[in-house]
Amino acid sequence: MQKRFLFLSLFSTLALFADSETDTLKAQLKQQQETTQKLLSRVETLESKQQSSVNTSASFSQNAYLPDIAMILNMSAVYRDVNNSAYENFAVPGYIASGDAELPFNKNRGYNLNYAEFAVHSVVDPYFEAFAFLHMHPNELEIDEAFVTTTSLPAGLRIKAGKFKSAFGRLNEKHQHSWNFDEQALIYKSLFGPDAISDPGIQLQWVAPTDTYIMAGVEGLQGTNERSFGDTESPNLIVGYLKSSIDIGDELSILGGVSIAHGKTTAKNSSDIYGVDLTMREQLGSYSALTWQSEYLQRNKVISAAKTDRQAGLYTQLVYQYSNNYSTGIRYDALTKNDTDLSAYSGVNTDNLDRVTAMLEYKPFPMSRLRLNYSYDRSKIIAGQRKNINTVMMTLNIAAGAHGAHAY
């Protein structure tokens, strides 16, 4: 009986010790699990930060330190049935006085190196992109554009600041090598000159949060364009515009816009230019398209308290892209209103100031282009006489390096 009691007592003691050890082990295991969970959470946080840093570095550093650089060469061979010295002194009645025309492109009957353009683009940081376009002409180097744009503003807003081509109208913003024809549209040349509206200033654009593209913009510019403005004692030019586009089916796109530019002339009088443009593009195949583009501009320029010049003109053009290599087109330009002092051209017919242009283009590759351009121009006065001018030119344009595509 005593042996049985001792045996039971020993067994109970061992059981108590076993239960105590199990509880201790369970507590230690739970503590280790909590510690492990905290370590895993910490590791995940560190890995997430490291991956974010790697992604930012991969997407940002290459653009930041290796900017896109392109060189564009534009040259031409020109036949014109007017000699060079006479052509340099042409006048367009009411718009351009004799000797005031600027001719940076295709100036000479013969061979022309119009310019070499260096284009630079880089992401600066997560908030800005920078652009610069430098034009090297045979006798000068000029900054065509140099500006920064924002990339991260909310609510569809974007700011551009620096020297840039205004987004007024349809053609103003395009560089010469992206024109469909090698000669500038007559109304643009007459109202603005070859550089069009290109000034130091600031631009604010807003894209509406709608399925249909709607963009509104306003620009404050210095107003250095002497052809229509020119009072540079202080910023004098304000430009505003509203643009939209819609797609009808899968093939037809329609773009339209209205624009206004308000500034002051060198005589400190008001000058206003109104513009309306319409472009329709029908996609005929993978590399085939038909594009019709038209634009009308009118200038109201105050001369005195009793007189305001009212002048206007338009162009309309049709371009058929047959394939990825070939395209052809025709354009009609006309100065349709010329309510100004034309007494300097007494005895000269100043009506029907217009021009017809045709072109044929061959692009063996996307970065090279040969274009044959013919124009019949009835808009010019040379040596006091109305002169109808025939011009035939062959142009070669080469783009080398990382150069973005141009909008049609």
d(CA 332, CA 186): 9
d(CA 47, CA 40): 10
Q: What is the pLDDT of residue 237?
A: 98
Specify the pairing of strand 157-165 against strand 198-207.
antiparallel
Q: What pLDDT tens digit does each residue of the chain (408 aa) get? A: 544 544 445 445 444 444 555 666 566 666 777 676 766 776 676 666 566 554 544 454 544 557 899 999 999 999 999 999 999 999 999 999 998 999 999 999 999 999 999 999 999 988 999 999 999 877 788 999 999 999 999 999 999 999 999 999 999 999 999 999 999 999 999 999 999 999 999 999 999 999 999 999 999 999 999 999 999 899 999 999 999 999 999 999 999 999 999 999 999 999 999 999 999 999 999 899 999 999 999 999 999 999 999 999 999 999 999 999 999 999 999 999 999 999 999 889 999 999 999 999 999 998 999 999 999 999 999 999 999 999 999 999 999 987 776 676
d(CA 382, CA 100): 13
In DSSP notation, 117-133 reads EEEEEEEEETTEEEEEE
The answer to whether the CB of 278 falls within 8 A of the CB of 256 is yes
Specify the pairing of strand 140-150 against strand 128-137.
antiparallel
Where are the domains positioned within the chain? 1-60, 77-112+151-401
pTM (predicted TM-score): 0.83
Q: What is the pLDDT of residue 18?
A: 47
How does 372-398 read in b/e, with b if 16+ C-beta sit within 10 Å? ebebebbbbbbeeebbebebebebebe
Per-residue CA distances from 155 to 166, 209, 276 (Å): 22, 8, 27
Q: What angle do CA 355, 358, 360 make, to 5 degrees?
A: 160
Decide which of 3.40.50.720, 3.30.360.10, 2.40.160.10, 4.10.520.10 is the CATH code for 77-112+151-401: 2.40.160.10
Amino acid at 279: T
Q: Hey, which residues does 162 pair with through a beta bridge?
A: 147, 201
Amino acid at 65: Y
